[in-house]
Amino acid sequence: MNTRNIITASDPVRHDDLRDLATRPGPTVSIVIPTHRGGAETLTDSQRLRPLLEQARKELAERYPDVDADSLLAPIQSLADSRRFWQEQADGLAIYAYPGGGRHFRTDRDFTPGVIVGDHPNLRPILPLFTEDQEFLLLAVGRDKVRLFEGDRATITELPLGAIPASDEEAEGVNTREPQLQHQSSVHAGAHGHGPRDYNVLNGFLQQVSKAVEARFTNDRRPLILATLEEYRGALAEHMKTIKVMAEVVPGSPTERSPKQLHEKAWPIAVDEGRRRHAATLDRLGEALGTGLATNDTSLIGSDSAAGRVDTLVLAERALTEDARADELDAAIANTLANRGRIDVVTVLPGNHASGAIFRY
């Protein structure tokens, strides 16, 4: 059974979550407010929501007079009335209501209170929770214990090993019957072995782990972070031909470290991979602009996203709070997601543009 550890009170935001919201029929009410993790302030958070709820009710009556506002706003009203709900918050709350249902996300972002009513949800406040996240695999290898995890910013989950040896003792029965393995990436005999047989067992164990992980995660796009002794990295990575193994390891023996302690050390490595991903997106955008397969024109992005032409939508951070073209940006985001495009958020775009789009054709 998978064992999941919660690292932060912030709710994860997945691509599927964004796409689910983007493809719901409108109108949609989007509300963000700051919240408190504890103390007397939690009692006032629900009161902060109520005027925004009334503002949404007024805008629905003006812009969508045929919509049953009470029915549409019922999920938000239910949250406003729940005392327990407000005692289990983080730093900010994003709420969405649409015909037939609603969703909410607790976040570690401190929002400015606001409400938007429109044909599309205002996903911009929660986009960084998706684009700044980085899913990863973590393989913790000691001679006496092997553990496998998957993680992201908010969670780390221990996975069953399956065919991966749980220790060198589990692998020893096979390796002691095999010829001694000699390879340039093998572990040096003097480091942690006690003669040829022990060296053979250790090196064979690491290579068995390597092969089993490769077989299980072939073509998995998540980076793999190793938590192990530095000298084990070569043998562990040797057979992982289709897996992106991070160069930096969580050093030292991982055996006594808890999942949360491993996450604390692994997350900065995952963040670095996320930064490289953002940089690669900017490089792609620059190259595509040079060949006519991209644009920074927000109006053109809107029409082309509706037509399914946008492969990747790139937003500068300033676009997340843009008011002048909010409807166009929200439509472009929703249409890109609905047509299975990708979205990234970067600090700034060249030319100080608010947005850019890489086209499929």
pLDDT at 170: 84
- Output the average pLDDT for the chain: 90
Q: What is the mean pLDDT of residues 84-88?
A: 91
pLDDT tier at 5, thresholds 50, 70, 90: confident
Q: What is the pLDDT of residue 202?
A: 85
Q: Give residue-wise pLDDT tens across range 284-301.
A: 999 999 999 999 999 999
Determine the number of helices (DSSP H) and then strands (DSSP E) in the chain.
Answer: 12, 13
Count of Cβ atoms closer than 10 Å to residue 219 Cβ: 6
Query: Domains, the chain, ranges and CATH?
Result: 8-123 (3.30.960), 136-274 (3.30.420), 292-359 (3.30.1330.30)
User: For 184-238, what is each residue's pLDDT tens digit?
Assistant: 444 544 445 555 556 677 888 999 999 999 999 998 999 999 999 999 999 999 8
Is a pLDDT exceeding 60 seen at residue 1? no
Instruction: Provide the edge-to-edge strand list for the sheet that holds 310-316.
Output: 294-295, 355-359, 310-316, 342-346
- In a 10 Å sphere around its CB, with 0-12 CB exposed, 13-18 middle and 19+ buried, how is residue 199 labelled? buried
Q: State how far the alpha carbon of 302 is from the alpha carbons of 92, 212, 297, in Å.
A: 29, 46, 9
Residue 193 in tokens: 């072995």
Confidence of residue 3 (pLDDT cuts 50, 70, 90): confident
